[in-house]
């Protein structure tokens, strides 16, 4: 029994870390209406700056104060001014996309500009790291300086925030600004200032969490912060993202339960390696399914929402027909010319990059379907690609199934995974669906891909390429294989294009905008949701298989969970509502990465990690314009160009009539 | 012969608070019924129960003597169409798209196989049918206009066209004159009566504007605190002392 209590007490500080981040998430959500996926990235940046300041000779306490009290709030004000204040209160999708943009872009920015990939952990801002050992009951209790600081900070933050949010002077305007900024302004309160203050406070908390977590892991890595963030989401979900005390209880309980399980399970068992890290995701999954508060997250009705301009409609409908016409008329010519040039003149490394780009394009088309058309922000598309790749590899390597048939099977298995995901998604809408898909991606990453009978173990599996008609596809820079992948891309594009412009696209767009209206029109929301989850996952599975064949290898980390949000942000940035948007994003992702390898080796930041970060940054930064350009920034530029070129002919038929153009 | 709609002893509560209490009425094919009552009387909740958006706690709702499927989309395909108090349009879609979505859903022509076979194209028959309905509600010349750019009156007409294109047996119109000025209301009443005459659809109308109710409904039911307090012709109901008391707070 004393062993049990020892496990419990030892893990309270770890739970306090979850609790602190969970409190930050709840505060951000209550005070700004944004579920801040970027919280972990903000904490990472703060932790890194704190460490850099300390290692450059600044006193640790002053460094912490500078980061938490000055830098973090200023960054919060910048986030509000530059991004979140520009999103209409009712546009919850734009809020999620923008915060995902922060999550993906900020670590890349830090990596590029701070250049820090190997910064050692600094000491905690208070206390010595090695405190006297306390004895409770029969066992010793080790509490380090950083743990004691975290526990104290959690307690203080909880008390201050609970009193603050309840107060009429601070808490009431904050909560009111989330519900209806316009109504608050009618009461004579400057809603913008309230919102800015909320963001400064929320980012300050991220800064505090970052500073307090920095001493616990060395080197400081963005991934550790992301893992803490996801675990904290489960803690925050206990109170439906609204209750601060429950978030703290959830955080501490999660840390303790994880510690106790860890204490009793043998460290070399699969349970230890898979179950313990996955516990928070299981808990979040269960809470999403059974907690009524989590299902009702999106039910917020601003009484003044009618005063706001309506959210921009889905992009396809407003696209000037001239662009479509130009694309339709010249697509075969452009495709043929590009293919000919590529096959004839392109050097080897670029052939490989194009092959990877075509594989990514197929994966990204799955996002076009589920996000661009159905309006569901799925963070699990990379995981479905991984399922497709793993199935293909297992069947082809261990069962000797021809690899193309194995790829079809991989698509079906991934599609079934998508169908299973759709079942809980039927009861959810908006943010909870995003969280659900995040959970699934994390569970796949922790439970499915590391197993040898699925992901092939630590080293993965060698994936063969097909042998058809005696053609050799096996060379890394094989042009026939590029042609094969392009043919698959063309076929998948055709299917997605037909669905986009057909009855399915129209019905999905209707369900996206107004599920109630669509149901009243007889549209089966249930059937369509299940179908779109199935098909998008199957398409991602095909892309994953092609990707594995391109690299001639499948490994468990190829599609780790962070690729989910990264892919989503990239596609949304380029254009999630058109087929060519996904294709441009896929090739852009691969070709920019390839181009960056030509950076002079004298550039100090020219490492693989930095190149990857730069690629993501270049392609993702446009996500911050999602509120004004839901069609994607590249798509918006295309339209702007088309408007300039076709200025003489109005795009809208009604406008055409008004202006007397036949 | 059975009635078109039979609402029998229907009750609905939210968290122990009874919003609809033991409501019963019948409606014959082609007839029209006005539901009136003050805010919170339970009219819209009753509507939502009939449309399948809310499950009922007790009682039964039958269409042509048969029990209804539970989901609203299935009820819509069975012949119960509705419009909304706060207009529910599909942002970004044209007027014609709205009607096409509903038509294809009713005909079972909606889905990936159909798209793959027909290349995602709309048939000329479907288009003609939609244009016919749009002509009925006076929107034929705005078929290609994005629906959300129209005036409120026209947006309500789009909803009406979307509801009617599946040839429903029963139309539930939830406060159709809400937010409309006198002229727009008159146009809407004209459209509703024309639709009734030309399609033979039965209508249940909820509205606070008694003029609209009088102009459209054959019979009227008054509700208060979730229960039916009077039923009959418009004149009978509005002169009912209990109704007067409920609306005006008079003791008699």
What pLDDT, in 10s, does the model give residues B130-142?
A: 999 999 888 889 8
**What is the rounded distance in angstroms from the CA atom of residue B180 to the CA atom of residue B92?**
23
pLDDT digit string (tens) for B196-252? 888 888 999 988 888 888 888 889 999 988 888 888 888 888 888 888 877 766 544
Chain B residues within an 8 Å CB radius of A88 = none
Nearest to A516 among B88, B104, B116 (CB): B88
pLDDT at A662: 33
Count of other CB atoms within 10 angstroms of residue B231 = 16
The residues in B 106-165 lying below 8 A from A, measured between CB atoms, are 106, 109-112, 114-116, 118-122, 142, 144-146, 148-149, 159, 162-163
Among candidate residues A284, A277, A287, A146, the one with its CA nearest the CA of residue A224: A277
Among candidate residues A201, A238, A220, the one with its CA nearest the CA of residue A41: A220
**How many A×B Cβ pairs under 8 Å?**
145
Is A494's Cβ below 8 Å from some Cβ in B? no
Chain B residues within an 8 Å CB radius of A318 = 92, 146
Nearest to A522 among B73, B94, B159 (CB): B73
Cβ atoms of A623 and A101 within 8 Å: the answer is yes
pLDDT at B10: 92
The residues in B 180-199 lying below 8 A from A, measured between CB atoms, are none
Interface test with B, best of A496, A521, A538 (most B CBs within 10 A): A521
CB contact (8 A) between residue B71 and residue A526: yes
Is B178's Cβ below 8 Å from some Cβ in A? no
CB contact (8 A) between residue B119 and residue A502: yes
pLDDT at A315: 44
Cβ atoms of A586 and A367 within 8 Å: the answer is no
Query: Cα distance from A494 to chain B (closest Cα, Å)?
Result: 9
Chain B residues within an 8 Å CB radius of A497 = 120
Is A591's Cβ below 8 Å from some Cβ in B? no
Q: What chain B residue is nearest to A523 in terms of C-alpha separation?
A: B105
Angle at A52 between CA A49 and CA A55, to 5 degrees: 150
Above 70 in pLDDT, residue B164? yes
Q: What chain B residue is nearest to A532 in terms of C-alpha separation?
A: B112
**What is the rounded distance in angstroms from the CA atom of residue A419 to the CA atom of residue A415?**
6
Cβ atoms of A251 and A21 within 8 Å: the answer is yes
Is A404's Cβ below 8 Å from some Cβ in B? no
Interface test with A, best of B82, B88, B162, B170 (most A CBs within 10 A): B88
User: A2-298, which class in CATH?
Assistant: mainly alpha
Q: What is the DSSP letter of A129?
A: S
Query: Cα distance from A107 to chain B (closest Cα, Å)?
Result: 35
- Per DSSP bridges, beta strands B219-224 and B227-232 are antiparallel
Q: What chain A residue is nearest to B82 in terms of C-alpha separation?
A: A520
Nearest to A517 among B77, B88, B119 (CB): B88
Q: Where are the beta strands (DSSP E) in chain B?
A: 5-14, 17-27, 32-37, 58-63, 66-67, 80-83, 170-174, 202-206, 219-224, 227-232
CB contact (8 A) between residue A313 and residue B116: no
Q: What is the DSSP letter of A123?
A: P
Is A369's Cβ below 8 Å from some Cβ in B? no
Query: Cα distance from A292 to chain B (closest Cα, Å)?
Result: 14
Chain A residues within an 8 Å CB radius of B110 = 503-504, 507, 523
Q: Percentage of residues in chain B with pLDDT exceeding 90?
A: 31
pLDDT digit string (tens) for A68-92? 899 999 999 998 888 888 887 777 7
Chain A residues within an 8 Å CB radius of B115 = 498-499, 502-505
Q: What residues contact A365, with CB distance under 8 A and at least 6 apart?
A: A492, A493, A496, A539, A543, A579, A582, A583
Domains of chain A, by residue range, sit at 2-298, 353-562
**What is the rounded distance in angstroms from the CA atom of residue A337 to the CA atom of residue B92?**
35
CB contact (8 A) between residue A525 and residue B112: no
Place of tokens 């796949």: A444
Which residue numbers in chain A have pLDDT < 70? 1-2, 115-117, 128-143, 178-179, 270, 298-325, 327-328, 600-609, 646-662
Chain A residues within an 8 Å CB radius of B97 = 317, 506
Nearest to A514 among B90, B110, B146 (CB): B90
Query: Cα distance from A651 to chain B (closest Cα, Å)?
Result: 11
Count of other CB atoms within 10 angstroms of residue A2 = 10
């Amino acid at each position: 029994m004393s062993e049990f209590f020892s496990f419990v007490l030892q893990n309270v500080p770890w739970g306090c870390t979850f609790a602190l981040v969970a409190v930050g998430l709840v505060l951000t959500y209550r005070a700004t209406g944004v579920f801040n996926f970027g919280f972990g990235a903000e904490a990472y940046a703060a932790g890194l700056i704190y460490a850099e300041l300390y290692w450059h000779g600044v006193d640790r306490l002053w460094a912490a104060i500078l980061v938490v009290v000055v830098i973090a709030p200023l960054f919060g004000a910048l986030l509000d001014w530059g991004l979140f204040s520009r999103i209409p209160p009712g546009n919850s999708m734009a809020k999620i996309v923008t915060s995902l943009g922060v999550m993906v872009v900020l670590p890349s920015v830090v990596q590029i500009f701070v250049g820090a990939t190997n910064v050692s952990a600094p000491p905690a801002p208070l206390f010595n790291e090695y405190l006297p050992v306390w004895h409770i009951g029969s066992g010793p209790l080790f509490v380090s300086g950083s743990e004691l600081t975290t526990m104290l900070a959690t307690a203080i933050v909880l008390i201050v925030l609970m009193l603050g949010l309840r107060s009429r002077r601070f808490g009431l305007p904050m909560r009111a600004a989330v519900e209806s900024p316009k109504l608050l302004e009618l009461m004579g309160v400057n809603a913008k200032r309230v919102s800015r203050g909320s963001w400064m406070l929320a980012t300050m908390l991220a800064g505090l969490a970052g500073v307090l977590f920095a001493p616990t892991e060395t080197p400081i890595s963005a991934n550790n912060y992301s893992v803490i963030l996801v675990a904290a989401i489960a803690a925050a979900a206990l109170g439906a993202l609204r209750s601060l005390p429950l978030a703290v209880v959830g955080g501490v309980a999660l840390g303790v339960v994880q510690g106790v399980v860890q204490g009793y399970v043998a460290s070399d068992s699969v349970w230890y390696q898979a179950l313990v890290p996955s516990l928070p995701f299981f808990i979040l999954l269960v809470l999403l399914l059974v907690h009524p508060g989590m299902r009702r997250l999106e039910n917020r009705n601003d009484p003044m929402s009618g005063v706001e301009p309506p959210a921009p409609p889905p992009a396809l409908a407003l696209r000037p027909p001239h662009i479509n016409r130009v694309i339709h008329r010249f697509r075969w010519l452009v495709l043929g010319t590009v293919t000919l040039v590529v096959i004839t003149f392109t050097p080897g490394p670029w052939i490989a990059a194009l092959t990877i780009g075509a594989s990514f394009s197929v994966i990204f088309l799955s996002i076009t379907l589920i996000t661009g058309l159905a309006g569901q922000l799925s963070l699990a598309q990379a995981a479905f690609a991984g399922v497709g790749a793993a199935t293909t590899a297992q069947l082809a390597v261990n069962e000797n199934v021809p690899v193309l048939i194995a790829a079809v099977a991989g698509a079906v298995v991934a599609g079934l995974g998508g169908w299973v995901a759709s079942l809980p998604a039927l009861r959810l809408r908006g943010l909870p669906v995003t969280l659900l898909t995040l959970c699934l991606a994390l569970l796949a990453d922790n439970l499915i891909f590391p197993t040898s009978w699925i992901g092939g173990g630590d080293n993965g599996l060698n994936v063969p390429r097909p042998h058809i008609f005696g053609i050799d596809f096996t060379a890394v820079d094989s042009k026939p294989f590029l042609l094969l992948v392009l043919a698959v891309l063309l076929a998948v594009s055709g299917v997605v294009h037909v669905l986009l412009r057909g009855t399915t696209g129209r019905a999905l767009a209707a369900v996206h905008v107004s599920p109630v209206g669509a149901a009243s029109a007889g549209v089966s929301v249930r059937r369509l949701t299940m179908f779109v989850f199935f098909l998008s996952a199957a398409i991602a599975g095909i892309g994953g298989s092609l990707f594995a064949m391109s690299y001639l290898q499948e490994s468990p980390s190829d599609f780790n969970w962070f690729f989910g949000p990264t892919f989503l942000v990239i596609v949304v940035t380029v254009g999630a509502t058109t087929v060519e948007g996904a294709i441009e994003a896929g090739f852009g992702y691969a070709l920019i990465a390839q181009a960056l390898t030509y950076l002079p080796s004298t550039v100090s930041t020219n490492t693989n990690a930095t190149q990857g970060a730069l690629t993501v940054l270049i392609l993702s930064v446009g996500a911050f314009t999602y509120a004004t350009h839901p069609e994607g920034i590249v798509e918006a530029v295309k339209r702007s160009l088309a408007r300039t070129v076709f200025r003489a002919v109005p795009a809208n038929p009604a406008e055409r009539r008004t202006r007397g153009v036949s | 012969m059975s009635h078109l709609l039979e609402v029998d002893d229907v009750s609905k509560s939210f968290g122990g608070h009874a919003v609809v209490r033991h409501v019963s009425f019948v409606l014959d094919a082609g007839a029209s019924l006005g539901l009136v009552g003050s805010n919170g009387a339970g009219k819209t909740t009753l509507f939502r129960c009939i449309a399948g958006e809310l499950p009922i706690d007790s009682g039964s709702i039958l269409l042509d003597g048969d029990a209804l499927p539970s989901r609203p989309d299935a009820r819509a395909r069975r012949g119960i169409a509705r419009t909304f108090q706060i207009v529910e349009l599909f942002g970004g879609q044209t007027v014609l798209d709205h009607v096409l979505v509903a038509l294809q859903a009713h005909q079972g022509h909606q889905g990936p196989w159909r798209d793959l076979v027909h290349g995602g194209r709309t048939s000329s028959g479907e288009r003609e049918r939609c244009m016919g309905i749009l002509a009925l509600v006076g929107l034929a010349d705005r078929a290609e206009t994005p629906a959300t750019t129209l005036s409120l009156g026209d947006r309500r007409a789009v909803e009406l066209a979307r509801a009617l294109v599946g040839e429903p047996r029963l139309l539930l119109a939830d406060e159709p004159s809400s937010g409309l000025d006198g002229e727009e209301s008159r146009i809407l009443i004209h459209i509703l009566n024309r639709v009734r005459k030309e399609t033979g659809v039965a209508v249940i109308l909820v509205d606070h504007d008694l003029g609209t109710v009088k102009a459209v409904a054959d019979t009227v039911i008054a509700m208060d605190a979730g229960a039916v307090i009077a039923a009959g012709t418009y004149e009978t109901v509005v002169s009912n002392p209990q109704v007067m008391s409920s609306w005006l707070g008079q003791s008699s």
